[in-house]
Chains A and B, each alone.
Chain A
Amino acid sequence: MSDPEVRAEAAPAVARAKDKSPWNWLLFLPIVVPLLTPLFNHDSPRVGGFPMFYWLQLLFIVLGVTTTTVVYQMTKKRR
């Protein structure tokens, strides 16, 4: 993935300033959802012995990974 040669060849400064993307708003999802305690502050249903409080919060990690990956892919510099 790391390919220093294929760096954008000194594009004009103005072209670089296009970083704003509506996709960035998606990042607020994994910021807000893990803070909504009423959503997951329960013992049941248990999954594999884990109370909901624990398995759902561990599942939020997947939510975080998915959204940051999507936003990264959609905002990545076009080569």
Chain B
Amino acid sequence: MGDHVTEIVVFTVLFLLVSGIGFFAARWRAPNDMGHLDEWGLGGRSFGGWITWFLVGGDLYTAYTFVAVPALLFGAGAAGFFAVPYTIIIYPLVFLVLVRLWSVSHRHGFVTPADFVRSRFQSPTLALLIAITGIVATMPYIALQLVGIEAVLKTMGVTGDSAIARHLPIIIAFAILAAYTYQSGLRAPALIAFVKDTLIYIVILVAIIYLPYKLGGWGSIFDAAQKKFDGTPNPNDGIVLTAANQWQYITLALGSALALFLYPHSITGVLASKNRDVIKRNMSALPAYSLLLGLIALLGFMAIAAGVKPLPGAKAGSTDSNTVVPLLFDLHFPSWFAGVAFAAIGIGALVPAAIMSIAAANLFTRNIYKEYLKRDATPAQEASVSKITSLVVKVGAVACIVFLDPQFSIDLQLIGGVIILQTLPAVALGIYTRWFHRGGLIAGWFAGMALGFWMLYQIPNAATGRAHFGGSAFPLEKFAFIDSKTTVYVGLVAVAVNLAVAALVTLALRAGKVPDGGDDTNPDDYFADEGDPRVSVPAQATSTDPDLDPAPSPKV
């Protein structure tokens, strides 16, 4: 590690600085009482425009994005650019759907999407399915953040021989993260996100001006990429899409956008906003990140033009393409600036990991602990259960990385995206319509899950030589009745079947007069805003004066 000392020092200093901020965050914006789930898990539902911008942005653009999307362009070309349309279409979708979810959650004190489903369909069973789906889909997502840090550490030469020595830096980093998340809750990632994004913006601005200048301009970067793809045996790579992967591009962009805002951690970021205007305004400001993402993605082509060779992977003979961006920085930046860039990626992993573990912990607390284990839990008990669960979730994520092949976490995340999409009919459509029968939604969930898993199981990965779970591009010819080379995104097909089954079973149950649950929400709950006189106060159900107490946080 000799020649990386400067990088390691800069990285460590910035990392420790951010950890200090994480601990300080508990006192930031003077919470009334940190021992309440609304305070710890949703920052008191009080975040304004700027904080929400950084929080939601920090949530959606993770270390893995910064590392994996360019790696995808490096390996597959144009197909990897799907991340750009994906992050364009998500904001209008959120504008249409999550604003209403915010209103109904604010009115009823919901903390998780499963809380909403439970009230909307009066079905604890459906809520339990939604909660489990959310937790299972989030865990590997957290593990992936570690893959991002690991790519950086590997590039700096911080590796060891035994499994424990190799992962020690990550274990330490996560122990610190766990400690300040435990103490400060959602306030920690919200505050750290400011630092993270500032660093990332600086690094990217420098990278997109300085690197093309060094590599002979954008034109020659794209030409170098085209030349590389022309020389590969894969017919589906190139700097534009081929006939066979256009549908994959479209369905993956749409499916990923739908999945992203169903993830519990995205919803947590939105629910923490203080009013509807904050969310709406943010949906027009957040695409600034999409521009960033598009430019980061192109680092993959810069790495091709710069002749970067990825470091070896965990198995002999394999390569770890996640290292291409860190290697590009290492090769072309002065070492102190490479250190800053690595810290940006590393810290970029901590913010979403913290939000995700909080979201998973809230799901466990509200929809499993309170629902099935301790009905009369007080808000303070809820908060302490959530705090402990968030620790357990992080230990689980670290275990995934230490004891499993990181490739396995990537596969799990692939599955995670497909399964979280199966909550779309109950959560996203549920916000607009109460037409579905709760039994229909449950049946649809099972059908979508089963089909999704079957399809993923059918997909081999040529690059790693694995026979199953090798990607999310399903060749339509595997359905015996279709003759086509076209591939599509598994998640979108599975959720379409989920919807069809939900609709058919709903009709059947209605015809059979099977009792459906009621609906605890009112139509105008979906438009409630900050200061609404009917907002329920979580601690004691007294009405508050909206002028004196705009954010209904408990004073007990």
List the interface of chain A (C-beta within 8 A of B): 1-2, 4-5, 7-10, 13-14, 16-19, 24, 27-28, 30-31, 34-35, 37-38, 41-43, 46, 48-51, 53-54, 57-58, 60-61, 63-65, 67-69, 71-72, 75-77
Convert B270-288 into 0s and 1s, putting 1 for each residue whose CB lies closer than 8 angstroms to a CB of A: 0000111110110111011
Task: Contact check, A35 vs B85: say whether CB atoms are below 8 A apart.
Answer: yes
The 8 Å CB contact of B92, one of A13, A16, A31, A58, is A31
Identify the interface centre among A4, A9, A14: most chain B CB within 10 Å of its CB. A4
Q: Which residues of A contact B529 (CB under 8 A)?
A: 7-8, 16, 77
Task: Contact check, A46 vs B219: say whether CB atoms are below 8 A apart.
Answer: yes
Q: Which residues of B contact A17 (CB under 8 A)?
A: 523-524, 527
> Known contacts A49-B217, A72-B284: does B531 contact A61 (CB below 8 Å)?
no
The 8 Å CB contact of B88, one of A4, A30, A53, A76, is A30
Task: Contact check, B528 vs A16: say whether CB atoms are below 8 A apart.
Answer: yes
Instruction: List the count of A-B residue pairs having beta carbons below 8 Å apart.
Output: 151
What are the nearest 3 A-B pairs in CB distance? A49-B218, A49-B219, A34-B85
Chain B interface SS verdict (over half): helix
> Known contacts A31-B93, A34-B88, A69-B284: does B239 contact A61 (CB below 8 Å)?
no
Q: How far in angstroms is the closest Cβ of chain A from B270?
A: 15
List the interface of chain B (C-beta within 8 A of A): 48-49, 78, 81, 84-85, 88-89, 91-93, 95-96, 212, 217-222, 239-241, 246, 249-250, 253-254, 274-278, 280-281, 283-285, 287-288, 290-291, 294, 298, 523-524, 526-534, 546-547, 550
Q: How far is the CA of A51 from the CA of B212 in the complex (A)?
A: 15
In the assembled complex, 7 residue pairs joining A and B whose CB atoms fall closer than 8 Å, in A order, are A5-B547, A24-B96, A34-B89, A51-B239, A57-B84, A61-B287, A63-B88
Q: Which residues of A contact B254 (CB under 8 A)?
A: 35
Q: Which residue of B lies closest to A67 (CB)?
A: B92
The 8 Å CB contact of B222, one of A9, A27, A34, A50, is A50
Q: Which residues of B contact A54 (CB under 8 A)?
A: 81, 222, 294, 298
Q: How far is the CA of A65 from the CA of B49 in the complex (A)?
A: 16
Q: How far is the CA of A65 from the CA of B550 in the complex (A)?
A: 29
Task: Contact check, A72 vs B280: say whether CB atoms are below 8 A apart.
Answer: yes
Q: Which residue of B lies closest to A68 (CB)?
A: B284
Task: Contact check, B294 vs A61: say whether CB atoms are below 8 A apart.
Answer: yes
Q: How far is the CA of A13 from the CA of B81 in the complex (A)?
A: 45
Identify the interface centre among B239, B274, B290, B530: most chain A CB within 10 Å of its CB. B290
Task: Contact check, A68 vs B92: say whether CB atoms are below 8 A apart.
Answer: yes
The 8 Å CB contact of A64, one of B212, B240, B287, is B287
